[in-house]
Structure formats: C-alpha cells, structure tokens
Structure 1
Amino acid sequence: MQATVELVAEHGYEATTLADIAHRAGSARGLISYYFPGKRQLLQSAVHRLMHRTLEAALSREPRTRDGQELMARAIDAILGLAADKPVVMRAHMAHILQAEGFVQCPEQQRLAGLLRDTVVAYGSEDADSDYPMLRALLMGAVFAVLMPGAPMPLPRLRAELFRRYGLAWERGVPPGGEPPGGTSQAIVLQWPEDAK
C-alpha cells in the first residue's frame, strides 16, 4: 500500500502499473492480485490506510487530549492536510470514488470511518449515526474543492468554513499560520442543526 501511494504521487495513477507497485514493494505481482482485484481497489485501500494513519497520528499526538473541539480541529486539519500534501494521490482517489464502481469498502476504510465517528462522539454529537456522515461529506467536499483542477479553493478559506460550521477557534488543531480569512480569530459557536437530529 505504501508503494502504491509513493508511485501514484510520483508518476500519477495511469502511469503506475501493478508490476511497478510489486517491484517497489519487493513483492510478486501475483501476490498483489491475490489480495486486490485491481489497481483501483488497491489505490482506494492504500489511500484509506494513509488517511486513517494520518488521522490517528493527529488525534493521538502530544499533548494528548479528550477535548472534543480540539479533536474535531485535528481531524479537519489532518484530512485537509493530505489534500495539500498529496494532491496527485488524493485527486486519483476522489476520481475513482465518483466512478460508477464507486466507493470501495475495505478494512482500511472502516478504520478511517471509526476514527471519524469517534471524533464526532467526542465532539458531543447526540446522533453520531447522522452527524458522522455529514462530517464525512463536508470533508470530502472540502478535499474536492482544494483539488479542483483550474479552480481550486484556498485551503485556509475552506478550513475557516469548516471551523465556523463546528464552532472551533482558529488556533485549535494545526492552523496554517496568520489570521483566518476575515481577520478574526474568534470562534463562532454553532450548535448541531435541529434538522440534522
């Protein structure tokens, strides 16, 4: 999975072959095909693994906390950070999700989902089954907006919108530096919308 992420980042999805991945990983191509029916499934599992490991590291970094607002800020920053740090990989991932075959459900994706759901619970959600899919959708939309070829939105602006949505102070998580768009670092406190409950 690591070899897949590395090679797609270096050469793009189309130029990366299963043989290239096997060679980089020091594995037999047949072994990869045994576990993954194709390159698309391998990429999605690899990216879900990258996302859940990145998110897990962000949520558990020092200083450790159980503060739901800080955990939500770290989660948002971790996912937006991947869009900024690995644009080629994340663009390929998003493109495959939007294809007819859609979303690949795999153990890596389930780990990512568990971490995001736990974050929503720590944040104070009374209905995590509704609020988790909303967080996932908002993060996917923000990642898509960062990666839009020819018309990307600035990451700080998207971060500010997500932080406003969840009532988070700009200083939480890992701020990109400077003042938030609009010039204020004051949090706007929002409650879960009534229609989302």
Structure 2
Amino acid sequence: MSRSAEQNRDARERSQTAIIEAAFAVFGEKGYHEASLAEIARRAGVAQGLVSYYFDGKEHLVGAVLDAYFAKMTGVAFGDESADDRLRLIIDMSLITADQAMPQQRITLGLSILPATHRLYADAEQRGLDGVLAAGAMMQDLFRERGAADPALEEIMLRSVLEGVIVKRAVYGQTYPLQAARRWLHDMYGLGEPAHPLPLVASDAAEVALRAVDAYPED
C-alpha cells in the first residue's frame, strides 16, 4: 500500500529532524571542518544520499542547524506568570540549556567566531531576526513591569551575562559552577534563594580537562 502525502511529509520531517540533531552532535564533537556528512548520516541512521538530498552540502546543513538553534533560543512563551517568575524562568532555561546542550553551544560559539564560518552564523542570525527581536521585546516588558528605569539596557545586560555564562560553560564544561551562578543572578535581581537546585547533567570528570572555579563546587 502506498503512503499518503501526509505520511510522506511526516517521514521527510522525521528524517530532516534526525539529520539536524545528528549534525548538532557531530559538529559539536568534531568541529565544522572535521565533521563529515558520512558520519552525520550514520549518526542519524539514514543513507548519506538522503543528507545530500535534503541539504545541499555542509554549509546548507550548518545553516539548518543554526536556524534550529535560534528557533529554540528565542521560542520562549509565558502565561500569566509574574515578572519575577518570568525572570526566574528565563535564567533557569538559559542555564539548563547551557548544561544540557554543551556540544551545540560549542559549535554555535565556534561558528560565530571562526572567519571561515562567521558568515553562516550571521546569515542565520538575520533569518532569525524576528524571533530575536520578539524575545528582546518580551524581556524589556518584563523589566518594565519590575519598574526598571531603562528596560532596554536591563535586557542587554541580562543577555550579556547569560551569554557569558553559556560561553564559559561551553569552554569549561561541567566544572563551571552553574548552581553558584544561578544563586548570584537571583541575588542580583532580588529574586530570593532558589527553591530547588537546577536539574543538571551529572558531572563526568573524564570528559573535562579544565577546572573553571574550584571555590564554588556544584551542589
């Protein structure tokens, strides 16, 4: 029995999602230049020809990976939470993402600064500009509700701090003290002591060669 158009579409979407997720992992582990489409296809469980069919070369695949990254990072939606609760959620989601998606964070960081791939990052950032601007406006509204004198500056500074934490986590891995950083952010914004620790990935000392901060071990 032949498949319906909807079944074919679902199969295509599943294959493309599997390839993008595999590309995230392989690019994160090996870097852009060392990663191969053959390895990505193997990790995704598809034929290499299917990768080339859906994505016209490595640059096109990197663009799709970055599009997925920007969509995830800007796709935050809230209900009727208070401004303080929304701020707590933004902090926690950013730190959890930094912890649980280290390979993705490393590859996006590398793509953004390497001369050979900066254009790919900049192009993806431009494609995701509407989402970036909407996320920024949402954060400014949050600070406006909290009575900030300059909500736009507060949004810039929060993003700068969170992006810095993400970069450090990508560099130092699971030795970077995310729990302590979270407590510092809560204190800085007057949010009180966190009720529960972040659900972080268990530390794997064999994976990480560098110690970021010895004075603030994870809880």
> Taking structure 2 as the reference length, what is the TM-score of the superposition?
0.60
Indicate which of 98, 106, 109 corresponds to 1:83.
Answer: 98
Query: What is the aligned partner in structure 1 of residue 72 from structure 2?
Result: 50
Amino acid at match of 1:44: L
3-state DSSP class of the match of 2:172? coil
Runs (5+) with no aligned partner, structure 1: 183-197
Pairwise CA RMSD: 3.6
1:71 deviates by 0.6
Number of residues paired by the alignment? 170
CA contact (8 A) 1:8 1:88 kept: yes
| Residue 8 (structure 1) aligns with | 24
1:194 alignment partner in structure 2: none
**Correspondence for 1:154:** 177
CA distance in 1, matches of 2:53, 2:151: 41
Using structure 1 for the length normalisation, give the TM-score: 0.66
Cα shift readout 1:84-131 (whole Å, capped 9, x = no counterpart): 111111111112222332652234354144224312322324434333
CA contact (8 A) 2:186 2:193 kept: yes
Q: 1:33 aligns with which of 52, 56, 59?
A: 56
Higher helix share: 2
Does structure 1 residue 99 correspond to structure 2 residue 108? no
**How many percent of aligned residue pairs carry the same amino acid?**
16
Which of the pair has more CA radius of gyration? 2
Structure 2 gap ranges (5+): 1-15, 200-214
Match of 2:190 in 1: 167
Aligned to 1:106, the other structure's residue is in SS state helix
Instruction: Tell me the equivalent position of 2:82.
Output: 67
Specify the code of the residue in structure 1 equivalent to 2:20.
T
1:109-163, CA deviations, whole angstroms, 9 ceiling, x for partnerless residues? 5414422431232232443433322222111101112222378421101112222
